Structure 1
Amino acid sequence: MQIYEGRPAAAGNRMEKEMRVYELLDELGISYVRADHEAVMTIEACREVDEALQIEICKNLFLCNRQKTAYYLLVMPGGKNLQTKELSPQIPSSRLSFASGEDMEKYLNVTPGSATIMGLIFDPENKVQLLIDEEVLEEEYFSCHPCINTSSIKLRTEDVLGKFLQAVHHDYIKVRLSR
């Protein structure tokens, strides 16, 4: 697997939403490296990408409350498993479950297997609340998909939390999930 500095040289067969991520990162002066790969649908499938980027790719879960009136994007280390009873009192919202693929597309413009913090570009009305596990916040680097699961990017966590979230007008709630 080859690592590239920045965006692809040409848009070619890249999806518009992926190119929009690169455009925004470039506009914000955020440097990143990129790996292109076969589609990965699970954290387990990301192991080779992790090795190439020398980082653990974050697990991104798209959740909602039972009434489907509140949506959450949870970013956590890939090695952790979600216990909703542990998360619910921290946000606070009861009866969390996975949101539908249709809602993921509607609010973040991504499909199942491609959930990413970069999808917040497509949530100008702030319908999705970002939740980030404290362990992710402690890392120097952050890795995610650019709205498509055939590429992964690695960038500085401080750039994501500062420049990127400010540009997309989102903030986050820090949560603590056990291993």
Structure 2
Amino acid sequence: MPKTPDELLAFLESLGIAVTTKQHPPLFTVADSQSLRGEIAGGHTKNLFLKDKKDNFFLVTVDEDAEVDLKQIHHLIGASSRVSFGKPEALMELLGVVPGSVTVFGLINDSDKRVKLVLDSALMDNDVINAHPLTNEATTTIGRDDLLTFVEATGHEPLVLKVSG
């Protein structure tokens, strides 16, 4: 069973990571989430769950306004071929979330370490970063360095690259 948002927050607390979480109506797109601007400071994420032809999976996390060239990104992230979006079944199996709730925090559910995380360097210029806590009905604000601590605590090695145009 995938972890719940409460289990995620308890895990963060066990790491000594302080976060704030704001509940809100479900947000399915970046456009939906932009209605919260002014209420939640920091960098806001857009997440791309991608796979290559060899079933290697990638979670690419960028700033909400970033433009990513999906025809070329495979060269940057180490994919074996051009990438496509991963299917909802794989998203649930690997990250424990549904489309519309894709988040870097989903790595807590990837116990087999099948997903390679790519963080856009422009996003990492923010002191604080916002992401869904496994549900699109809330936004969790976390410090940039604390986010890296979380990722490493899940057993993943974050790859910080310039992937946005």
Equivalent-residue separation in structure 2 for 1:85 and 1:172 (angstroms)? 22
Per mean C-alpha deviation after superposition, the further-off stretch among 111-120 and 42-51 is: 42-51
Distance 1:149 1:64, change over 3 A: same
Q: What secondary structure, in the 3-state scheme, does the structure 2 residue paired with 1:171 have?
A: coil
Letter aligned with residue 116 of structure 2: Q
The match for 1:170 among 143, 149, 156 is 156
Distance 1:152 1:131, change over 3 A: same
Equivalent-residue separation in structure 1 for 2:146 and 2:114 (angstroms)? 22
| Cα deviations by residue, 1:124-160 (Å, 9 ceiling, x for unpaired) | 1100000111111221111100000000010101011
The answer as to whether partners of 1:50 and 1:56 remain within 8 angstroms in 2 is no
Q: Which is greater in Rg?
A: 1
Letter aligned with residue 120 of structure 1: L
In the comparison of the two structures, how many residue pairs are matched? 163
Specify every segment of 5 or more residues in structure 1 that has no aligned partner in the other structure, as ranges. 1-14
Q: Displaced runs of 4+ in structure 1, greater than 2 A?
A: 48-51
Q: Which residue of 2 aligns with 1:53?
A: 40
Letter aligned with residue 83 of structure 2: L
Alpha-carbon distance, 1:96 to partner: 0.3
Q: Which residue of 2 aligns with 1:4?
A: none
The residue correspondences of 1:25-174 to structure 2 (distance < 5 A) are: 25-67=12-54, 69-93=55-79, 94-162=81-149, 164-174=150-160
Alpha-carbon distance, 1:167 to partner: 1.4
Q: State percent identity of aligned pairs.
A: 25
| Cα deviations by residue, 1:6-65 (Å, 9 ceiling, x for unpaired) | xxxxxxxxx961111111011111111111001000011001333211224100110000
Please, what TM-score do these two structures have when normalized by structure 1?
0.86
The match for 1:24 among 5, 8, 11 is 11
Please, what TM-score do these two structures have when normalized by structure 2?
0.93
Specify every segment of 5 or more residues in structure 2 that has no aligned partner in the other structure, as ranges. none
Distance 1:77 1:36, change over 3 A: same
The answer as to whether partners of 2:43 and 2:63 remain within 8 angstroms in 1 is yes
